[in-house]
Every structure is written in structure tokens, then in C-alpha cells.
Amino acid sequence: MKDWHPDLGRSSSPRYMAIADVIEMDLRSGHLVVGDRLPPQRELAKRLNVDFTTVARGYVEAQKRGLVDSHVGRGTFVTGGAARESRGFAPGAAPDPRRASVVDFSMNMPPEPDDPELIARMRDGMATVAANLIPLLRYQGFGGSGVDKESAATWLSRRGLAPPQERIFVTPGAHPALLAIFGLLAKPGETVLSEIITYPGMRSIAAQLRLNLAGLPMDEDGILPDAFARACERLQPKALYLNPTLQNPTTLTIPARRREEIVTVARRYHVPIVEDDAYGFIPLEGPPPLAATAPDLTWHIGGLAKSIGAGLRLAYVVAPDSKAVWPFVSAMRANNVMASPLTLALATRWIEDGTADAILRFIRTEAAARQQMVAALLPEGSYRADPLSFNIWLPLANGWTRSTFGSHMRSAGIGVVASDAFTVEGAAPEAVRVCLGGPIAREKLQGALDFMAHALEGPPEMAASFF
């Protein structure tokens, strides 16, 4: 709404406060609606015949009240603070700076939504959940209510899965589920298999349970079936862990034919598969999950951290058969009691009203844009990535080691993790995972990628020592 022309005479406050007051009034009256773009600050200053600083302070005050959000290069947008009051939020509610946690850029996070309309939609979902606040503060049955399991089934159906409700469980994140599953499948000292370059969380879980984690060699399509068969003969493993879609950290996706070959070996040797499908919802099209090919053999974990948000701490687990259900329920209850009913209700609401799909669309679009930024800077073939992955896997050259490169990039504002964190056995390669998601804005990411590309053009001693 570029033609918005506030009448500051409607407020008795100082002019900069009056700007925020009128934004709030116009939200209440409907003259402004969520998603409206306010005039640029200099343009509004001319309209009101006030100096630029007054308008800038007014927009800052409006942002403090939660009425607007500003985005560099895009403008200032209405986010609905006044409208939220009528739906039960505290008057003038604004973000609490004490909740601004330190960001761990070493975590592989999806890009965070910054679209005002999407954020307003997400907040509407929270307002709906708040209408049932008191019941959600009670203990709930483990695994989710009927409505939560229905939403889980709806979400899992996007991956081609249609398990009966009694085999679906909502857990407080993928990590607790993995811990419980491997605690059931293997005893201390027994062997489980994974990719030789694998998700660090799996290494931590194996260490905590005192399991022997053995890594399988890989090619560009994933673990080698022949190597898997030889390991089954030699090690008699109790389970195989795989992150088969947009694998963390290499970003590879195991194609359908290789998945079938893996399942064939697993059946031959009666080895359960634990499928960590953290990124499975990101690709628009892709191979069906292993649980669709071998439902009786596979523990499927559909975490929401990468497709909606890690702060929800939720994952949908599908057990392979009814015999596995009660031991799993017992193990999960002992460690976690239940998933948070508040976040579970929010996830269910977002799935039911389409907000989860909107978040997923945003993540795909933004991830693709960030991968295009990388492709414009780094030579083709010098790194591994998927057009929709949140990271790249970067082998190092020109004398760079993973330690020197990590140290050099520490000030750039993007997460760089050395290959040591992902290597199951043997010498770690000179490679790093570079994260592209999280709260970092495109402009900041572009600067960090420019800095990285410049450093990689030559040896470490030639790189600039500042950012």
C-alpha cells in the first residue's frame, strides 16, 4: 500500500510515536492489512513534511510493537500486531529480545521464513492453538492423539507412505527416536552399519549406547551393495542406518535402483533398516522412501526439523510391525514421557490449514536461490550439492586443510564443519560441510560466499586475513 498517508493529528504523541500509533489504528480499522508494504521512509517523510529521522524512528517503534517487519532491499511490511490483540495476544506484543538465542551456524538448518504474509499465517496458527491452551498443559498419551496421528498420516502420505495409525508415533524429535530404536535393536558391543561419511548424531548415539559403528564405502549413488553384503557376512550387524535423501553432509540422494539393491541385501541377511528421512520432504520429486519398498523391514523417521522448523522438536516414526510397537513405546516413555502437546498441536494445525506446505514451499524456493548463488561463484565440479540442499560438501585443494579453512571462514557468518565430524572410520578427507541456511540473510550470505570463493582461488597464505 504505497499510497498510505497517515494523519498524525489522530494521535497526541510525539510525531515518531504517532506514526506507530496510526499504523496500529489503521490495522484495527482495516485500512491496513497484514502483508501491506508501507511507503519507503524518505517518501513518507516528504508526504508528511517531517524529517527522515522521525519516520525512521516511527518505523522502529512500530517494529518494537510487533506491527511491522523491515527487510533490507524489500521494504517494511505490516505483520498484524493490532490484529493479533483482538485474537488474544497482549496489547502491543513485540518480540522479546531475551529470546534471541545465539545461532549455531554449524547446524544444518533450512532458510528461515522472512515473508510477512507467511509469518502472519504462522502466527495465526499459534493463536488458534492458544485458544485450547489449558488442555495442552496437561500430560497427554504417548505418541500423539488421534487428530495428531491423522495429521502425521497426511504428512507422511506426501512421501508415499500409508501405514496404519497404530504404527505411527509422534516423538520429541528424531534424536530420541533414534536412541530408542537402536537401544532396542542392538546391545552394547554389537555392530550397526552406516555410510562411512554419515550424520554426526548417529556417531554420538552409537557412542552413548556403546555400539560398534562400522562405515560402508560409498560411490555417487550411496553405499555399495556388495560392501554391505560383505559386512553382513563378516560383522553380523544388528541394523543399518541410512540418511538416503539429501544425505547430511554429502547431499547425495540414493536412486531407486540402488535402494532396491540395498533392500535385497538387507532381506537376505535379515538386517533392519533405520531410515532417517530428515530431508525427504524437500525434493519435489524423488525416489520413494525405503519404508515404502520394505515396510516390514524399516523403521522410518520423518523429522520436521528440516521441512518446517527445528524448534518444534517433533518427528513422525513408523514402526515396521506391531511386534515392535510396545518395546518402542516403553523405551520412549522411559526417556521422554511425551512430545510437547503445545508444539504438537501447532504442527497439526499447520498441516491441517496448509501453513506447513507454505513453509515447505518457501524453504525450497530459498534453498534453490542460495544454491544458485554458490553455482555462480564456485567452479562446476569443485563441490557436491543438490539444487535444494541446505549445504554443500566441499573437498579442499590448493594446500587448504580442513582446519585452516575452518579457521579462516569462522568470521564469515556461515557454518563450516570439518569432515572429522562425519567420518565413521579411517582418515577423514580434506573436506568441509558449508551450511547455507538458518537466519543468515541472502545479502550476508552473498558476502560470505564471495569471501570463501576468493580464498579458494589460491593457497592459504594468499588469502585475505579479514572479512
Please provide the DSSP assignment of 372-399 as one string.
Answer: HHHHHHSPTTSSB--TT-SEEEEE--TT
d(CA 25, CA 17): 12
pLDDT at 68: 87
This prediction's pTM: 0.80
The one-letter amino acid code at 242 reads: L
Q: Which phi-psi region, left, alpha or beta, contains residue 249 (left: φ > 0; alpha: ψ -120 to 50)?
A: alpha
Burial of 190 (0-12, 13-18, 19+ CB in 10 A): middle
Q: Is the peptide bond before 255 cis (omega within 30 degrees of 0)?
A: no
d(CA 467, CA 100): 24
pLDDT at 262: 98
Residue ranges of domains in the chain, CATH in brackets: 6-76 (1.10.10.10), 138-352 (3.40.640.10), 355-461 (3.90.1150.10)
Cell of 461: 597464505
d(CA 202, CA 12): 61
Q: Looking at residues 120-127, what average pLDDT do you find?
A: 90
pLDDT at 93: 53
Burial of 389 (0-12, 13-18, 19+ CB in 10 A): buried
In this prediction, residue 222 has a pLDDT band, given cuts at 50, 70 and 90, of very high
Task: Give the E-state strand segments of 196-337 in sequence order.
Answer: 212-216, 218-219, 222-223, 240-242, 273-276, 298-303, 315-318
* Cα radius of gyration rounded to whole Å, the chain: 25
pLDDT digits (tens, 9 = 90+) for 346-398: 999 999 999 999 999 999 999 999 999 999 999 999 999 999 999 999 999 99
Residue 48 is classified by DSSP as H
In this prediction, residue 147 has a pLDDT band, given cuts at 50, 70 and 90, of very high
pLDDT at 33: 83
**pLDDT greater at residue 57 or residue 227:** 227
- Say yes or no to pLDDT of 70 above 70: yes
Neighbours of 105 (CB within 10 A): 20
Q: What does pLDDT average to over the chain?
A: 90
pLDDT at 84: 45
Q: Looking at residues 50-79, what average pLDDT do you find?
A: 84
> Shortest CA distance to 128 belongs to which of 88, 81, 78?
88
pLDDT at 89: 44
> Shortest CA distance to 433 belongs to which of 402, 455, 408?
402
CB of 271 closer than 8 Å to CB of 376: no
- Say yes or no to pLDDT of 101 above 60: no
> Shortest CA distance to 79 belongs to which of 131, 121, 19?
121
In this prediction, residue 85 has a pLDDT band, given cuts at 50, 70 and 90, of very low
pLDDT at 61: 86
pLDDT at 74: 76
Please provide the DSSP assignment of 138-154 as one string.
Answer: S---TB--HHHHHHHHH
pLDDT at 2: 56
In this prediction, residue 103 has a pLDDT band, given cuts at 50, 70 and 90, of low
pLDDT at 441: 84
pLDDT digits (tens, 9 = 90+) for 270-326: 999 999 999 999 999 889 999 999 999 999 999 999 999 999 999 999 999 999 999
pLDDT at 245: 98
Residue 270 is classified by DSSP as T
> Shortest CA distance to 460 belongs to which of 399, 409, 410?
399
Cell of 235: 560383522
Task: Give the E-state strand segments of 183-314 in sequence order.
Answer: 191-195, 212-216, 218-219, 222-223, 240-242, 273-276, 298-303
pLDDT at 100: 58
> Shortest CA distance to 441 belongs to which of 466, 417, 414, 416?
414
Q: Strand pairing of 315-318 and 222-223? A: unpaired
**pLDDT greater at residue 107 or residue 169:** 169
Q: Strand pairing of 298-303 and 273-276? A: parallel
CB of 372 closer than 8 Å to CB of 389: no
